[in-house]
Structure 1
Amino acid sequence: MKTKNPFLTYGYISPEFFCDREEETATLISALENGRNITLVSSRRMGKTGLIHNAFHRIGKDMPEVKCFYLDIFPTNSLREFTLLLAQTILGQLDSFSETMLGRLTSFFKSCRPVVSVDSMTGAPSVTLDFVPDNAEQTLGEIFEYMKQSGRECVVAIDEFQQITEYPEKGAEAMIRSHIQFLPNVSFIFSGSKRHIMLDMFMSPKRPFYQSTQKMHIGSIDERKYHRFAACHFAKRGITMDEGTFHYLYTVLFGHTWYIQRLLNKVFEICEGNVCEPDINECIRIIISEEEFNFQQQLSMLTLNQRKLLTAIAKEGTVESINGKDFLQSHSLGASSSINRALENLLKNEFVMDNGNSYQVYDRFMGIWLRVSCGF
């Protein structure tokens, strides 16, 4: 079913439903046009994926000869899975479906057998790989060589790129770097949400990707631009929301893109006429009631110290010093050593986000729920 709600909470349709990021989109495209790979870093659900697809949309419109590929490697757990995903995304897309394409694939791949199938409805080829055991590294090299020899200009966006540091294969990071540095016709966007890992990968002299890319960070969308975007779409439904009400909505969710979209989506669904703060609070209450069981299940997996620390951060909204005496005492958190262990787990499992100089509850609606109910 095609949604009539303009406030998308997943996927990308067109610039009409994508708020701002004009400067970031232009910066991204300019870097790629001038031969610079990009490292794109931001918190989860801040809009990295949407930005990439918005840039791809514009590239497709202005430079149709350039092939754009997006792959999210967060679900992958090994170099073999990474290679399979890359193959499924790219192979068969650089040639028209023909005997020539089949011949090219066969000639490039010695470590595995490409299996090509065709969608009966669209005629589009789909390629899977039948691996020779333990040859993922060789196959990966063959995929990149296939891209190089195609001569086609390509952009490859690899989302959640920090995932490769979790692969069991030693040297996966260096091996991937060794291949991509010799692809003059292929540009890369390395996108990630774990800031410390991504910055270490691309800024540490000890790491293979050191100083190999232009760095980009995206934060919150400008509040005024976001309000204009929302007001434009609300007007088509006869809904109004003044700047003060939008400021309340924006602030209570700390300017976090996905959560704002989720709330605007609910406002568009149930509200009429002029929307005020009580309407915003009612929409938040509904969303939280929809998520409450999930929140309870997540909390049940935490230790007592972890739950207490998470609730304390939620109550404060933003905490600059986790080990500060006032913070520990006012929330009866106990010794710093045990709190630091709890914080490490909360950060690892993305219950808490580290902004560099402060900590907040990652899920903005969970944070509100914790402030209201204390979570237990």
Structure 2
Amino acid sequence: MISNPFLISGYHSPSYFCDREEESSKIISALTNDRNLTLISPRRMGKTGLIHHCFHLIQAENSDIYCFYLDIFSTQNLHDFVDLFAKTVIGKLDNYSESTIKKLFSFLKSFRPSLTFDPITGTPTINFDIIPLQEENSLKEIFSYLEETGKRCYIAIDEFQQIIEYPEKGVEALLRSHIQFIPNVKFIFSGSKKHLMDEMFSSINRPFYQSTQKIGLKEIPLESYYVFAAQFFSAVKKNFPYEVFEYIYSKMFGHTWYIQYVLNQLYSMQQLEYTISDIELLIDSILEEENATYKTYCEMITKGQLKLLTAIAKEKRIKSPYETRFMRLHKLSAISSVKLALHSLIEKTLILKDEEDYYFVYDRFFSLWLEKR
């Protein structure tokens, strides 16, 4: 049992995972039926937790399946990617017998492998350094290693759109050339920048065009989320009315992480009854804690961008930032200036566009802070 059931990072077990039954079923069905997947959602909507949840369910059913997760958000180039990929999968499919170690060393000719032993347990660890300018060969050897084992593997690559930023040319085509010919390994390509992921997987001239089943994450339904949350409050004899949760859900636009954060703080309070006034005070407290951070955000963008960002926050959501009413009300300048500002805010992931083509401020707490300006 954990101290607070409303997790704001990591994955614990199905008991602390809310709903997503339909999405879980689709992901597991795709992988087990040899389909690669593209999973797209804004950051903090719960896609990473969903991936780990599906991997948990898969391995509970079949322990012979190996599941790997790598987040490439912080990688800057192909070298970083190959290094992370190698550390994630190499050696994880075998025991460290002498024959296995020799086999690994013979397989991975583009690496500088080294073997170390834990001084207490004696457990061996293999470390790999990529030989400079050998990244493409190293990548090929990793895929050959995965195929040679013959073991069923599911690999999730999170923030996959990051490969577009690599200075090397042709990384998409390079990865695709290996992935399409490895029958025992299936992939989840997960990303948070919808416009970039859509281009990668839906543009006819891109290597990954129509190579995956696509799944998007929407908000967890209000009713399902309330049932999930209320059980934990009820278990500690706390009264958590539906209208209180409905208020939280509405304020956070159904965005999973922000709801979890509020619930986490609420659960830690000593009181046994909760009202909407309690939620308002709690949110104000959170905004006060983040005040310095949000001021820094504002200093990092131009005055025009800040003006547009604040205007969208005050509107909650806006279908057309170029309409006369909106621009006059918020004293915005020429349409051309608004277009430039909007493009920049989207690139910075400060503004997102939902499936109904409404623009909104991505960070729910930042949006509420801007509303109060």
Q: Same fold (TM over 0.5)?
A: yes
Q: Aligned with 1:40: secondary structure? A: strand
The residue that corresponds to 2:224 in the other structure is 225
Q: In the TM superposition, what is the alpha-carbon distance from 1:112 to its structure 2 partner?
A: 1.8
Contact 2:37–2:214 under 8 Å retained in 1: yes
Q: Distance in 2 between matches of 1:123 and 1:166?
A: 41
Which amino acid in structure 2 is aligned with residue 161 of structure 1?
A: F
Q: In the TM superposition, what is the alpha-carbon distance from 1:323 to its structure 2 partner?
A: 0.7
The residue that corresponds to 1:358 in the other structure is 358
Q: In the TM superposition, what is the alpha-carbon distance from 1:92 to its structure 2 partner?
A: 0.8
Q: Distance in 2 between matches of 1:120 and 1:323?
A: 66
1:113-143 superposed Cα distances (whole Å, 9 cap, x missing partner):
2223345567665443222211101100000
Q: Distance in 1 between matches of 2:371 and 2:346?
A: 19
Q: Distance in 2 between matches of 1:343 and 1:171?
A: 29
Which amino acid in structure 1 is aligned with residue 8 of structure 2?
A: T
Q: Distance in 2 between matches of 1:123 and 1:259?
A: 44
1:318-340 superposed Cα distances (whole Å, 9 cap, x missing partner):
01101111111100011111111
Which amino acid in structure 1 is aligned with residue 366 of structure 2?
A: M
Contact 2:83–2:129 under 8 Å retained in 1: no
State the number of aligned residues.
Answer: 372
The residue that corresponds to 1:133 in the other structure is 132
Contact 2:41–2:217 under 8 Å retained in 1: yes
Q: In the alignment, does 2:265 pair up with 1:257?
A: no
Q: In the alignment, does 2:286 pair up with 1:287?
A: yes
Q: In the alignment, does 2:29 pair up with 1:35?
A: no
Contact 2:172–2:207 under 8 Å retained in 1: yes
The residue that corresponds to 2:193 in the other structure is 194
1:267-298 superposed Cα distances (whole Å, 9 cap, x missing partner):
11125222110011111111111111111111
Q: Distance in 1 between matches of 2:123 and 2:212?
A: 33
Q: Aligned with 2:60: secondary structure? A: helix
Q: Distance in 2 between matches of 1:353 and 1:150?
A: 42
Contact 2:234–2:240 under 8 Å retained in 1: no
Q: Distance in 2 between matches of 1:194 and 1:164?
A: 12
Q: Distance in 1 between matches of 2:40 and 2:360?
A: 18
Unaligned stretches of 5+ residues in structure 1:
none
Q: In the TM superposition, what is the alpha-carbon distance from 1:255 to its structure 2 partner?
A: 0.3
The residue that corresponds to 1:367 in the other structure is 367
Q: Aligned with 1:45: secondary structure? A: coil
Q: Distance in 1 between matches of 2:7 and 2:347?
A: 28
What is the CA RMSD across the aligned residues, in angstroms? 1.4
Q: In the alignment, does 2:338 pair up with 1:334?
A: no
Contact 1:203–1:210 under 8 Å retained in 2: yes
Which amino acid in structure 2 is aligned with residue 214 of structure 1?
A: Q
Contact 2:20–2:220 under 8 Å retained in 1: yes
Which has the larger displacement, 282-291 or 249-258?
A: 282-291
Q: In the TM superposition, what is the alpha-carbon distance from 1:144 to its structure 2 partner?
A: 0.5
Q: Aligned with 1:255: secondary structure? A: coil
Q: Aligned with 1:321: secondary structure? A: coil
The residue that corresponds to 1:243 in the other structure is 242
Which amino acid in structure 2 is aligned with residue 365 of structure 1?
A: F
1:230-275 superposed Cα distances (whole Å, 9 cap, x missing partner):
0001112222222211111100110000000001011111252221
Which amino acid in structure 1 is aligned with residue 104 of structure 2?
A: L
CA 1:24–1:170: 2 relative to 1, 3 Å: same
Unaligned stretches of 5+ residues in structure 2:
none
The residue that corresponds to 2:45 in the other structure is 46
Q: In the TM superposition, what is the alpha-carbon distance from 1:111 to its structure 2 partner?
A: 1.5
Which has the larger displacement, 237-246 or 21-30?
A: 237-246
CA 1:122–1:269: 2 relative to 1, 3 Å: farther
Q: Percent identity?
A: 48
CA 1:39–1:125: 2 relative to 1, 3 Å: farther
Normalising by structure 2, we get a TM-score of: 0.97
Which amino acid in structure 1 is aligned with residue 9 of structure 2?
A: Y
Contact 1:6–1:265 under 8 Å retained in 2: yes
Q: Aligned with 2:154: secondary structure? A: strand
Q: Distance in 1 between matches of 2:239 and 2:43?
A: 30
Which amino acid in structure 2 is aligned with residue 346 of structure 1?
A: L
Contact 2:38–2:212 under 8 Å retained in 1: yes
Q: Distance in 2 between matches of 1:289 and 1:265?
A: 17
Q: Distance in 1 between matches of 2:120 and 2:259?
A: 38
Q: Distance in 2 between matches of 1:66 and 1:76?
A: 27
Q: How does 1:266-277 map to 2 (within 5 A)?
A: 266-277=265-276
Q: Aligned with 2:290: secondary structure? A: helix
Q: In the TM superposition, what is the alpha-carbon distance from 1:186 to its structure 2 partner?
A: 0.3
Q: Distance in 2 between matches of 1:354 and 1:56?
A: 29
Which has the larger displacement, 232-241 or 325-334?
A: 232-241
Which amino acid in structure 2 is aligned with residue 300 of structure 1?
A: E
CA 1:280–1:344: 2 relative to 1, 3 Å: same
CA 1:54–1:302: 2 relative to 1, 3 Å: same
Q: Aligned with 1:319: secondary structure? A: coil
Q: Aligned with 1:286: secondary structure? A: helix
Q: Distance in 1 between matches of 2:358 and 2:123?
A: 48
Normalising by structure 1, we get a TM-score of: 0.96
Which amino acid in structure 2 is aligned with residue 238 of structure 1?
A: K
